[in-house]
Every structure is written in C-alpha cells, then in structure tokens.
Chain A
Amino acid sequence: MAVSQEFKSDLLGSIPSLRAFAVSLTQNADKADDLVQETLVKAWDKHESFQPGTNLKAWLFTILRNEFYSQMRKRGREVQDSDGIMTAKLAVHPAQHGQLDLKDFRGALEQLPEDQREAIILIGASGFSYEEAAEICGCAVGTIKSRVSRARTKLQEILRLTSDGEYGPDAISAQVMGKPAA
C-alpha cells in the first residue's frame, strides 16, 4: 500500500516535536537530526503498522526512542554519566531573584540519567499523559511517575532550589543585593 499524502504531511508536521525530543535525548544537535532522519525513514517504511486515528506523535516518539537506545547499545553506551563527573563539573550558582537561567537549566537537565530525562520531558514538556509516556517508553505508568519524581528532585538539587516555587537568594545574598531578607 502506498503512503498517503495525509501521512506524509503529518510526518512533516511532526518534525519540530521530533527534533525537540531528539535533542532532549541526545543533548547534541547533530546527533539529534540524524536520529530524526532515521526515525522518518523507519516511519515511512512501516507506515502500514500505524493505525490512522491513533496518536501519530506517540507512535513516532516510540520509534525515535527505540532508535536512540539501539544506537546507544551499538556504540557501547558512550553517552551517559548519571552521577558524579558532570555533576562535579557544573556548579550552578544560586538563581538570582528566582530567575533561573535557561542555560543553567539546560546544564542541569544534561546531568539527569536518560530514563529520568526522557520521562520528565515527555510529561512536563511534550504534553503526553503518564499512560502515553509509559507506552512510549515500554514501561509501567508507575515507573514513569517515579522517574519524573526523581528527575524533579534531582533538578532541584542541582539547581539548589530549596523547594520548587520557593526559590531566590538566601538571606545573606539578599542583603548584599539590597533586598530586605524575608
């Protein structure tokens, strides 16, 4: 069966999301685009296994994610450093007046293990439900929930947010900056 025009245009429309997810996984723009390319080729080849009316984005994310992990396995897991080295390297300064810098945030995100990073991205940014994320990652809903929770805790630690939503300089730096300490 030939690929329908609708499928093709839906694929085109999904590329921005696929690239965002790929960058989130690989933390590298070139690798991300190669990954998206592989994903599109695979999706094209197996378009018949996609059921029209179901969530194309979730289907594509699943393909992309599988491709990412199979590439990592082939390369013998050169990628991840879940604890330690990078954490030590990157010291984030306390955010000024609650304005957490996006660059610092990106650095913190990089330090998460992949499973936690993908979970928090799927749930917190890509707009998937826990059920959809679990399907994409091939795991239980509870696993996604716990990964998201651990990712969030770890981000808070790295970014030294004492508790999320309650950020800002401590009393001393507040005085230095001329703001009355609360």
Chain B
Amino acid sequence: MKDMTKTSAAAASAAKRQGASGDPLGPNSEIGRKLKQYYDDLVSEEVPDRFAQLLAQLEQASPAQKKD
C-alpha cells in the first residue's frame, strides 16, 4: 500500500524523538508517559459511523476517481 510510507515516516519521527536521551517528554518522564497514555486512549477509541457515512456522502457529491 502506498500510504504505508507516510505512516511509517510519522512513526519513525516519533520513535526518533522517544529514543533521544534527555528528552523532557520521553519515556523517563512521568508527564511524557501520561501524555502518551492520555492520547493513546483517545486514539484507540472506536470511531463513530457518522464519519464513514460523511465521507460516503462527500464521495457521492463528487465521485472519487477510480484508479484502476
């Protein structure tokens, strides 16, 4: 998949920062850890159907281009 490159680039930049020693928000920091826990909880929440429906509606209004 094409979009994998973007995702892994973001992950790499996150990993790079986490790995940096002396990072005030890194894994050795209580605030850094809580911040990630807080955010990861939010990211892993189930996405309501309304968003997939919204994109479907938008697509109907301006049909997506078929690539193949």
What residues make up the interface of A, taking CB atoms closer than 8 Å to B? Answer: 1-13, 15-17, 19-20, 23-24, 33, 36-37, 40-41, 44, 53, 55-57, 98, 100, 102, 105-106, 109, 120-121, 123-129, 132, 148-149, 152, 155-156, 159, 161, 164-165, 167
Interface residue SS majority, chain A: helix
Residues of A within 8 A of B17 (CB): 123, 127, 129
Asked if B58 and A44 make an inter-chain contact with CB atoms under 8 angstroms apart, the answer reads yes
A100 CA / B7 CA spacing, docked (Å): 31
A157 to chain B, nearest CB (A): 11
Residues of A within 8 A of B2 (CB): 6
Closest Cβ neighbor of B23 among chain A residues: A124
Residues of A within 8 A of B52 (CB): 12
Interface residue SS majority, chain B: helix
In the complex, which of the residues B30, B37, B38, B51 has the most CB atoms of chain A within 10 Å of its own CB atom? B30
Instruction: Pick 14 A–B contacts, CB within 8 A, sort by A.
Output: A2-B62, A5-B67, A8-B59, A10-B6, A19-B45, A20-B39, A24-B39, A36-B51, A55-B9, A106-B38, A124-B32, A127-B14, A127-B17, A164-B30
A24 CA / B43 CA spacing, docked (Å): 11
* Interface: B24 (CB within 8 A): yes
A3-B64, A121-B39, A124-B25 known; A129 vs B13 contact (CB < 8 Å): yes
